Amino acid sequence: MNQEQDQYIIGIDTGGTYTDAVVISKQEKKVIATAKSPTTHYNLSIGISTCLQKLFKNAKLHPNDVVQVGVSTTLATNTVVEGKGAGVGLIVAGPTRQFQLPVVSMSMIKGGHNHLGDEIEKLDMEMLVDAIVNFKGLVDTYAVCSSMSIINSAHEKVMSKAISLIDPKPVFCSHEVSSRPGIKERAATTVLNAMLMPVMNDFLVGMQDSLVSLGLAGNVLIIRGDATPMDISNTHRQAASTVASGPAATAWYGLHFSPQADALIVDVGGTTTDITIIKDGKPVLDEAGSLIGEWQTQIDAVKMSTVGTGGDSHALINTKGQLTVGPARVLPLAMSDKSPSPSTWIGKGLQCKCVMAAPEITAEEAQHDKVLAYLQEKGPSTPKQLKDALEIAEITLVSHLKELAQLQLTVETGFTPTDALHVLGELELGRRESSEEGAKQLAAACNMSVEDFCRNVLRGVEQKIEDAILDHILKIEIGKTMTGFFPGYRKSNLLDLQFLAKIPIVGIGAAARYLLPGVAERLKTEVYFADHYEVGNALGAALMVADAEGEMS
């Protein structure tokens, strides 16, 4: 081999459940090795480092042979959906009304330009100074937006300078992040960049620390939501562009491995399922800009849909004996060797999951939270046991347990589709006996046989994925969704609606092989699983970097 052929590209994907990595040869784009490790949300760099260490061990390569690293991530999406990120102060200059955005506070001041770039009203400096003084100490970062700043950005530059003099914190100007008209959408785009900047900055620092500690000297590129890579040094200023980063990598994997030029690319993870589509061998982009949470933005991204269902979705029985699956994620019973036997605790409602303090939590750390302190002292407990022992209102406890789980201070275990697959003999990754014990308790709670209960769990996940696929296609075709138009169509006594997909499905993710065949069968289409589909997003990131390098050379 010559020197060029001896060079390699790494792809990394940080998902809600796992961090995946793959290394490919730069010239041939051949997969050399793959690796998978749990995502460590409390410190993402730990999961990334662990995954990369496994990758180098499997690949038997020297870090100096790696010339580029492509990274896709759901960090930005998760931050917006969970309502986290920096506290933003928004200042808008121009003749416009107040609008709702995820900010700490918003101030409207006089100023702005017209479509020719002529000043329609002088910038009111007194109002500007008052706004900054009022925001000082309350916000972490600023977003500024003035009318028609895409033509004349003078007022935004003045606002930015004033902030730097009065309250020197990061400032994002709308003319720097968007060149499109529409002040509300431009303001939303600016706010999201400001909100995500410190979160993304922490992630990028952790990423670079991980790579440097492993001796990786190659260029690091972050995958944007529009399926293009950007240099890591620019990412903290364009953090919002990484929304849909994971689905963009998903789509790129589909481009390389789809049997047809048109296809649905479906990524089934442990926590969520992401759906994208390719047409004529290209990802379908959202031309109007991405709808992120409740806010319409001017961020270019692949057209995507996400549904809160996957291999680790929590299957529970409510107090009325009704089965629901997801959107919450728990550790499957089969994969937990720390929780008590499910036969001793699993049941209806608050008895459907067991909560444990994370292994790395010390007694000193636990004493600051009474739930953690109880778990440290008494061991794994159900939410009902916690509620009764600590006398906490159910709604308060459920919310607090969700927060502890997101921070990875606790581990929650319960019955999942992964357990159902173990009981049915279709999967052998963990302790089948634990899955069987849980299935017996839950099946009895809803008066079903164990086998019927497990198949209903899988059917529940498959129906959610099928509905998400239908909604995704219908929104592209007619701008509406079936679940929005006729949400109860499955239960109708007057209509029997069936849909047939005219394009194939390309499956990605470890759970895809077990959950997508049933979906494809109902949609009367084919599902394909190409090589390395389990780490398809990481491979998509690596291939995107390789393809971009090829276009430039």
Report the DSSP beta bridge partners of residue 275. Answer: 266, 305
Which distant-in-sequence residues (6+ apart) come within 8 Å of 207 by Cβ?
A: 44, 45, 48, 71, 220, 232
Among residues 454, 470, 505, the one where a domain terminates is: 454
**Torsion, CA 43, CA 45, CA 48, CA 52, rounded to 10:** -140
Q: Cα-flanking dihedrals φ and ψ of residue 113, to 5°?
A: -130, 165
Low-confidence ranges of the chain (pLDDT < 50): 1-5
> Does an H or E element contain 34, and which?
strand 31-38
Exposure on the CB side of residue 39, measured as CA atoms within 13 A? 20
66 bridge partner residues = 8
Between CA 406 and CA 81 the distance in angstroms is 13
In what helix (H) or strand (E) does residue 91 lie, and over which residues does it extend? strand 88-93
Q: Which domain holds residue 150?
A: 88-192
CB 115 within 8 Å of CB 94: no
The tokens describing 86, both together, are: 């920096």
For residue 111, the model assigns a pLDDT of: 92
DSSP lists the bridge partners of residue 368 as none
Has residue 430 been placed in a domain? yes
Average pLDDT of the chain is 85
Instruction: State the Cα–Cα distance between residues 52 and 48, nearest whole angstrom.
Output: 6
Domain-embedded: residue 333: yes
Bridge partners of residue 38, in order along the sequence:
18
pLDDT in tens, 481-529: 777 777 777 777 787 778 888 999 999 988 899 999 999 999 999 999 9
Q: Is 341 inside any structural domain?
A: yes
What would the two tokens of residue 116 be? 């020719």
Length of the chain: 553
Question: 3-state class of 279 per DSSP?
Answer: strand
Token pair belonging to 207: 């990423």
What one-character-per-residue DSSP string does 403-445 give?
Answer: HHHHTTSEEEEE--HHHHHHHTTS--SS-HHHHHHHHHHHHHH
d(CA 345, CA 434): 12
SS3 content of the chain, % helix, strand, coil (to 5): 45, 20, 35
CA 426, 449, 432, 349: dihedral to nearest 10 degrees?
Answer: 120
Cis bond before residue 198 (omega within 30° of 0): no
Domain closes at, from 432, 454, 476: 454
pLDDT digits (tens, 9 = 90+) for 198-213: 777 777 777 777 788 8
Q: Is 77 helix (H, G, I), strand (E, B) or coil?
A: helix
Compute the distance between CA of residue 190 and CA of residue 178 in angstroms, rounded to an integer. 8
Whether 499 is in a domain gets the answer no
- Among left, alpha and beta (phi > 0; psi -120 to 50; other), residue 407 is alpha
Domain C-terminal end among 424, 454, 484: 454
Angle at 37 between CA 33 and CA 42, to 5 degrees: 145
Residue 12 and residue 46: Cα distance in Å, rounded? 13
Residue 365 lies in a domain: yes
Dihedral Cα 255, 256, 262, 268, nearest 10 deg = -80
**Do residues 194 and 170 lie in contact, with contact meaning Cβ atoms separated by under 8 Å?**
yes
CA dist., res. 37 & res. 33, Å (int): 14
pTM assigned to the model: 0.78
Is there a domain that residue 369 lies in? Answer: yes
Per-residue pLDDT at 31: 94
Return the pLDDT at 2.
Answer: 41
Q: Structural domain tally of the chain?
A: 2
* Main-chain dihedrals φ then ψ at residue 99, nearest 5 degrees: -140, 155
Structure tokens at 179: 């060149």
Burial class of residue 99 (count of CB atoms within 10 Å of its CB; 0-12, 13-18, 19+): middle
Residue 168 CB partners (closer than 8 Å, separation 6+): none
CATH of residue 135: 3.40.250
Q: Does residue 175 form part of some domain?
A: yes
Q: What element of type H or E holds 183? A: helix 183-213
Residue 296: per-residue pLDDT:
64
- The tokens for 400 are 């607090």
Distance in Å from the first CA to the final CA of the chain = 20
Rounded Cα–Cα distance for residues 520 and 522 (Å) = 6
